[in-house]
A and B are shown apart, each in its own frame.
Chain A
Amino acid sequence: MSTTTTAADFDVHRHDSFGLRLQHALHGNPVLGPLAVLILAIIAFSIVNTRFFAAANLSLVLLQVTVIATLALGQTLIILTAGIDLSAGAIAVFSSVLMAQFCFKVGMPAVLALLLGLACGTAMGALNGFLVTRIKLPPFIVTLGTLTIFFSLNSVVSNSETIRGSDMPHLMTWTGDTIAIGSFQLSYGSILMLLLFGFFWYALGRTAWGKHVYATGDDAEAARLAGIRTSRVLFSVYTVAGLLYAIGGWILIGRLASASPNVGTEYNLDSITAVVLGGTSLFGGRGGVLGTLIGALIVGVFRNGLQLAGVEVVWQGFAIGLLVLIAVSLDQWIRKVKG
């Protein structure tokens, strides 16, 4: 810590160093850092392999991150309130299995099965919210418990059976259908995901609810004293996140053209990775959904780019882990900004 509280510090803004200006810019706009990483990564991989920067490959990256990005959207809301959700992937996979079972085993009409599946996901999120706000347990503990419960119920309900898309109504796999813009293949799932990001970008930035979410995350006690019903805000956040995970589950069915109970064990942590890389602070109150979208794309670009560059799989995980550490260090540094 080189700064002191002498009068000379008032001059800091007039002839500040590049580092300080960068620190202020990032503090004002947390998306800049991740965006720079994404652009640099795209440029670097394009130089390494000419195949990388092609519409078909870029659309593939978007397709590959769609499920994780949708989960990370819900995760962002929770992390903004200084919480964490370890059960995100479990809710998504369990919801997808429930939707498929409602169709295949129970024989429900597709729309009903879908809505019921989404409702189940929402209820799972609401259960997390209830335990956090009413029983006052730390989110980490709550979601660690429900993670285990949901994965276990998932095995019970599915009997470890994968249900194929061809055995389900088309609505179930609809999210996997694509429209082509030239050689750019956009799936309905990706469009849905992007619309959701747009919606929550608006909701967080422009509505009272959004302001309350940030305020609760920044300082829950101050927010409560200011008249915000923080419990209600938290409950809404966990519930909405549950719905988003269930939508992610629906998109997952489309991507795999089947509902498999054995996928997604890594989605819980992957969704947190995307949020952290997107510049949202794990300590709450700072960040946003645009950053998360970029964070998810960074993971996708690295996985795809390193594969095209012929890097061994073990080192791909290494690179992404390193990025996470850099992102968290950056967050700590930005928080030290003055003013």
Chain B
Amino acid sequence: MRRLMAATGCVALLLTGAACNRGTGEPVVGLITKTDTNPFFVTMKHGAQSAAEQQGLDLLTFAGKVDGDNEAQVQAIENLISYGAKGFLITPNDSKAIVPSLDRAHKANMLVIALDTPVDPPDAADATFATDNYQAGKLIGEWAKAKFTKDGKTAKIAMLDLNPNQVSVDVKRDQGFLEGFGIPNGDPNRIGDENDPRISGHDVTDGNEEGGRTAMENLLQKDPSINLVYTINEPAAAGAYQALKAAGRDKDVTIVSIDGGCPGVDNVANGVIGATSMQFPIKMAELAVEAIAKYAKDGTKPQNTAGKDFYDTGVQLITDDPQAGVEAKDSTWGKQNCWG
């Protein structure tokens, strides 16, 4: 609504002959997310907005219509170039297809920061601010390993992944979990190529409740002895839990997940999820906006975390059943720091 009013105001100004350059005169920065419906990106937007206010920047936000919508992101970059923006943060819908547009932005002297998802090649962006997804998977794998070792149980694992496309986030979380749990994972760039008898099966969830439920139901049919469930994210975990509950297995199966969204942390507190790896989208957005503010002021470009090809915005294991040797915070801390 506010945007509509601003646009109407602009048209009115134009009609009176005044130039319309968005009024404030503050440096413009952009935020381009994959969609504006996913709570993760909604949170990210809030984080960027408050950081932009603090830094005295004028933030313009854009989003794709659906996950994978490259066209809308290309248009957003074109708009930012014509607004004379200092730089922008982008969560690319298509890591490769967006690169030519990023090059055009660089030619216009803009600072480009990839947020959450790297671009391909990574150096097409000036920096990447992201969660270490491999580490996020590894933490829940280590936790599960410690728990199963302590209980003296042999794991039968269901792997609930994202989709069949071997997306890098999906692959890293999946492979990180396997490494953390101590299962040799074959080609580290491929999901599902390992043949360890502890893995009962893989299925895809599209990262939502319905997919999580159906995938869990089918895997339970395949192997009723499943007692450990890895899930790509917390909505998939919530769906898997419904399937386990319907099968009367909710008490003796452990679910692990990744995200740190508030509904997910609630599920940790309720015992639905055994442990989850928390990401920090607000911090991700704030740090990236600060980096652009700095660039706008003196031209300094952000540096990656030592030893990594991105700026690691951190990950934190959340569980109410801590295991020896795995650093974790409880769900009370989780609730204070969750997103969405």
Task: Identify which of residues 144-193 in chain A touch chain B, using a CB-to-CB cut-off of 8 Å.
Answer: 155, 159-162, 164, 176, 178, 185
Given A262-B37, A262-B38, A303-B218, A314 and B210 contact (CB-CB distance below 8 Å): no
* Cα(A155)–Cα(B39), bound, Å: 11
Checking B163, B211, B218, B246 against A308 with a beta-carbon cut-off of 8 angstroms, the contacting residue is B218
Q: Shortest distance in angstroms between B231's beta carbon and chain A's nearest beta carbon?
A: 15
Query: Which of A15-23, A220-228, A251-259 lies at the interface?
Result: A251-259
Say yes or no: B246 contacts A51, CB within 8 Å. no
Say yes or no: B210 contacts A312, CB within 8 Å. no
Say yes or no: A51 contacts B37, CB within 8 Å. no
Task: Identify which of residues 288-339 in chain A touch chain B, using a CB-to-CB cut-off of 8 Å.
Answer: 303-304, 307-308, 310, 312-314, 317
A57: which B residues are within 8 A, CB to CB? 221
* Cα(A307)–Cα(B201), bound, Å: 9
Say yes or no: B263 contacts A162, CB within 8 Å. yes
A312: which B residues are within 8 A, CB to CB? 164, 192
Interface flags for B17-57 (1: CB within 8 Å of A; 0: not) read 00000000000000000001111001000000000000000
Say yes or no: A307 contacts B203, CB within 8 Å. yes
Chain A CB within 8 A of B213 CB: yes
A262: which B residues are within 8 A, CB to CB? 37-38, 208, 235
Chain A CB within 8 A of B239 CB: yes
> Of all chain B residues, which has the CB nearest A315?
B164
Chain B CB within 8 A of A261 CB: yes
Given A178-B246, A307-B203, A313-B164, A256 and B218 contact (CB-CB distance below 8 Å): no
Chain A CB within 8 A of B95 CB: no
Given A162-B209, A256-B213, A260-B209, A304 and B36 contact (CB-CB distance below 8 Å): no
> Of all chain A residues, which has the CB nearest B42?
A160
Chain B CB within 8 A of A284 CB: no
> Of all chain B residues, which has the CB nearest A185?
B246
B208: which A residues are within 8 A, CB to CB? 260, 262-263
> Of all chain B residues, which has the CB nearest A178?
B246
Q: Shortest distance in angstroms between B220's beta carbon and chain A's nearest beta carbon?
A: 9
* Cα(A255)–Cα(B218), bound, Å: 15
* Cα(A64)–Cα(B243), bound, Å: 11
* Cα(A252)–Cα(B218), bound, Å: 18
Checking B204, B213, B222 against A313 with a beta-carbon cut-off of 8 angstroms, the contacting residue is B204
A258: which B residues are within 8 A, CB to CB? 209, 238
Task: Identify which of residues 80-123 in chain B touch chain A, using a CB-to-CB cut-off of 8 Å.
Answer: none
Checking B42, B164, B213, B235 against A314 with a beta-carbon cut-off of 8 angstroms, the contacting residue is B164
> Of all chain A residues, which has the CB nearest B217?
A60
Chain B CB within 8 A of A33 CB: no
Taking each of B38, B217, B219, which has the highest tally of chain A beta carbons within 10 Å of its own beta carbon? Answer: B217
Chain B CB within 8 A of A139 CB: no
> Of all chain B residues, which has the CB nearest A52?
B221
Checking A60, A64, A260 against B235 with a beta-carbon cut-off of 8 angstroms, the contacting residue is A260
Interface flags for B178-211 (1: CB within 8 Å of A; 0: not) read 0000000000000010000000010110001111
Say yes or no: B235 contacts A162, CB within 8 Å. yes
Say yes or no: A155 contacts B263, CB within 8 Å. no
Chain B CB within 8 A of A264 CB: yes
Checking A64, A159, A310 against B217 with a beta-carbon cut-off of 8 angstroms, the contacting residue is A64
Task: Identify which of residues 107-159 in chain A touch chain B, using a CB-to-CB cut-off of 8 Å.
Answer: 155, 159
Question: Can you name 17 A-B residue pairings with CB atoms under 8 Å?
Answer: A52-B221, A57-B221, A155-B36, A155-B37, A160-B37, A164-B263, A256-B213, A260-B208, A263-B208, A263-B210, A304-B218, A307-B222, A308-B218, A308-B222, A310-B222, A313-B164, A313-B203
**Besides A178-B246, A303-B214, 19 other CB < 8 A contacts?**
A51-B221, A52-B221, A60-B221, A155-B37, A160-B37, A162-B209, A252-B210, A255-B242, A256-B209, A262-B37, A263-B209, A263-B211, A264-B210, A265-B66, A307-B203, A307-B218, A312-B164, A314-B164, A317-B164
